[in-house]
Every structure is written in structure tokens, then in C-alpha cells.
Structure 1
Amino acid sequence: MSESAAPTRVVVVEDQPLFRSMLELTLGATPGVRVVASVGTVKEGLAALRPGAADVAVLDIDLPDGNGIALGVTLRRNQPGLGILLLSAHDAMDLLLDLPPDVAAGWSYLSKTSSTSTETLVTAIRAAAAGRTTLDPALLDRMAPRAGSAVSRLTDRQYAVLRLLAQGLSNAGIGEALKITEKSVQNHINGVYATLGIDADPSRNPRVTAALRLLEETGRA
């Protein structure tokens, strides 16, 4: 991000004071990210996340007066451009598959216990701000394609590209991770879309659809 670019504005809704403070400190020290509010309940979250206040909401799933998923759905229906990053102490990544279709884009999920690195957190926030979906990389490491699924028909390289795409990486980031060109990355992504039957419907983000298909068609190895 250039110095002249506006920072990604984040509101944190997390009821555990210690973890909330950790998020504030980590994000506050990250260039290009600004925490505009940090609260602990659904009620406070609704007040802090008024339209135009933030680019991304970081929401704990378990809150004392409700849950982060319902809060996220409410927010997104009023603010279609708001990115959502869900956090949970449990493996609840499959909950992304149950999101209403009209709000499913731009949601990400990280486990508090497996993915607490600054790099992973910031990648997920920036992906959510851009309308992409990020799945917890540590949880993805434990997954394998289900037999007979479309994902199981991908080549090894296509599967590697899809996993990195699902972790919120851009084409440039995927290319850097795999030591291949961005053109090669896009060619592999096109192959993934073809194998998974994902079309170029402008009303749906194909990267989001691909990430959710990966989640849907894999299980614990």
C-alpha cells in the first residue's frame, strides 16, 4: 500500500479483553491498517459499525449478547461493501457454507488457536476488504479432497493454487509462493474454474466461489 492510499479501517468486536487488546496492538502497529473501534458485544458492534465507519469488521463468533455470524449478516445487508473476518476458538470454518448467498462474498475465517500470526491476520483483513474470502491456512493443511469430488480432479499444481487463493493471496502472492509467473497463476486458476464449473457470472466473485467449493469438497485428512 502506498503512503498516499487510505488505510483499511477496522472495527474489532471481541468479548475477551486480552485477545481484543492483542488484536488492537497488532493491527495498530500494521502499516495501512487503522483500528477505529474495539468493542465487546453485538450491541456495541452495531453502534460502532455504522455505515461508512469501517472497511472490515473483525467479529468473534461467540459474543455475550449474540453471535458474530448473525451480526455480520445484519451488517452486510446494510453495508454490502463491508468485509467480514470471523474469529473463533473452535473449528467452525464450515459455517461459511451456510451464509445466505446475497451476503456470502467478502467473508473470511481464522481460528484463534491455529492462525494468530500477524501476517495471516493482516492478509485476511486485506482480502476481506477487497471482497475476497480467506480460509484458515492451518485448518486447510488438515484437509484433503473428498473422493469423487470436482476438487479431487484438479492437478497437484491447480490444487496448490486453489489452496493459496483460498488463503486470500493475490495472483502475485500465489506466484511468489510457488515461484511461478502471474500469467502461469492465472492459467492455473482458469483451469480450476473450468474443472469446478465456475463461470464468469459478474454477480458472483469467482474467487469466493472457488474458495467455498474447496471448503465444501474437502474433509479432514
Structure 2
Amino acid sequence: MSTPLAEVIRVAVVEDQPLFRSMLERTLAQMPGLRVVASVGTFAEARAALRPGSVDVALLDIDLPDGNGIALGVMLRREQPRLGVLLLSAHDAMDLLLDLPPDVADGWGYLSKNSSTSEELLLSAVRSAAVGVTVLDPELLARATPRAGSDVARLTHRQYEVLRLLASGLSNAGIGEQLGITEKSVQNHVNALYATLGIDADPSRNPRVSAALRLLEETGTGT
């Protein structure tokens, strides 16, 4: 865990479009428990500004004028293993998370600039990134369908609903509220889908992160 949620989460914005960057900066600055400590527009500026220990979560545009936001995130995570990374993109490139090097693959988030991302979702995604939880764009997930023959396709309809909401960063309580079922029922569904997907209880791996990545791996997004 990079920072307790009771403390202020220090956020850096790396976005090359000045208007979108300023909008993000203003929005984040107004959110409770967050503080924007850096706002830059290039790979080089980010390398200079995001020194180890200065930031808890980095919001990274994938397409930067002098480099790639994913490569930047990998570099930063190797220097700062507890850094949360939340990727932003104007394209549906969520499956790029599957190509991350294994040593830094856990706990990345992805939001599309083109989806109807709310302030509540952005805040939730930043907080999740701060504690190493993967959050995937819920609007893109809503268009995803399981690939035939995959383990995800073996899930019941309700288990798939739970998995999709889990991958969008909701807690068990939040999933229960969304689906109108008890938190205990949610946990039962989570346990069942872990069993179907073969996700074990290895304490070195976050099972929710593993489940989110399996969902990403075994689904296709419709156009």
C-alpha cells in the first residue's frame, strides 16, 4: 500500500493537452483527500518532476509528444514500487495492460478520455491506484463480452456481473449496492468466480487485480 487513505494522496498529472491537463488539475484539486503536486505535459518534464517519494499516484496520458506514457509508468514503478499508476487515453487501448512487464504489472488503472467518466469515478480510481488496486474503465467493460471457450465464459451471469464491477474498482459493499444484494452474497460470488478462474489465495498477489486482468484477457470489446 502506497499511502493510507486517511492521509492526503499526492497526485501528479502528465498530460500533453493543456486544456485537458488544467481541467484535470482543477478537478483533482477540489477532491477531498487529494493534492496535485505536479502537472506537466511531456515525458521529460515528468522524469524531472516525479522524484522518488514525492508522488503517490501518477495520472499518465498514454500518448505524449516525446515518449509513451506506459513506458514512463514502467520506468517510474521500477524506481518507486509503491507508486500508483492510472493511465488515460483517447483510444480504447485497455488491453495494453496485458503487455506490462511482470515485475510492475499489478495495480495499474485505465480510464478512457472518451467515456462518461465522473468525478466520483476519477476519485475512486485515484484512491484505488494509491493502494495498488487495478481499476478498468467501466464504460469499456460494459461493452466487453467473454470469448468463447474461455474461463470467463464459464461464469454465471451474476458472477460475470460481479467480476465486471470488481474490475471497475468497486468494493464488495459497492457491488452489493449496485446489484441490490447483500455483501455476503457478493463475497460468495467472488469466491466462486475465483475458483472458476483458478485464482488462488497467494498472499503475494492481489486476487482482485488478478481477476481484473483475467477479465481483460478473456473478453473482447464490441465496436
So what's the TM-score if we normalise by structure 2?
A: 0.94
- Per-residue CA deviation, residues 92-115 of structure 1 (Å, 9 max, x unaligned), is 101000001110111001110114
* Amino acid in the other structure paired with 2:74: V
| 1:69-84 matched pairs, under 5 angstroms | 69-84=70-85
CA distance in 2, matches of 1:220, 1:6: 37
Measured in 1, the distance between the counterparts of 2:59 and 2:221 equals 26
1:114 and 2:100 are equivalent in the alignment: no
Counterpart amino acid of residue 92 in structure 1? A
Alignment correspondent of 2:90: 89
**Amino acid in the other structure paired with 2:182:** T
Runs (4 or more) in structure 1 with deviation over 6 Å come to none
Unaligned residue ranges in structure 2 (runs of 5+): none
Residue type of the partner of 1:33?
L
Decide which moves more: 193-202 or 113-122: 113-122
SS in 2 for 1:70: helix
Residue equivalent to 2:159: 158
Supply the AA of the counterpart residue of 1:52: G
- Counterpart residue number, 1:210: 211
Alignment root-mean-square deviation, CA: 1.2
Question: 2:180 matched to which residue of 1?
Answer: 179
Identity %: 77
The 2-side partners of 1:149 and 1:19 are apart by 38
Which 5+ residue runs of structure 1 have no aligned equivalent? none
Q: Determine helix, strand or coil for the equivalent of 2:35.
A: strand
Instruction: Spell out, residue by residue over 1:60-108, the C-alpha distance to the aligned partner (whole angstroms, 9 max, x if none).
Output: 0011110110000011111111110000111110100000111011100
- Distance (Å, rounded) in 1 between the aligned partners of 2:44 and 2:106: 24
In the other structure, the counterpart of 2:34 is 33
* Structure 1 position 5, deviation (Å): 2.3
Q: Shift of residue 181 of structure 1?
A: 2.1
Q: Which position in structure 1 is the counterpart of 2:147?
A: 146
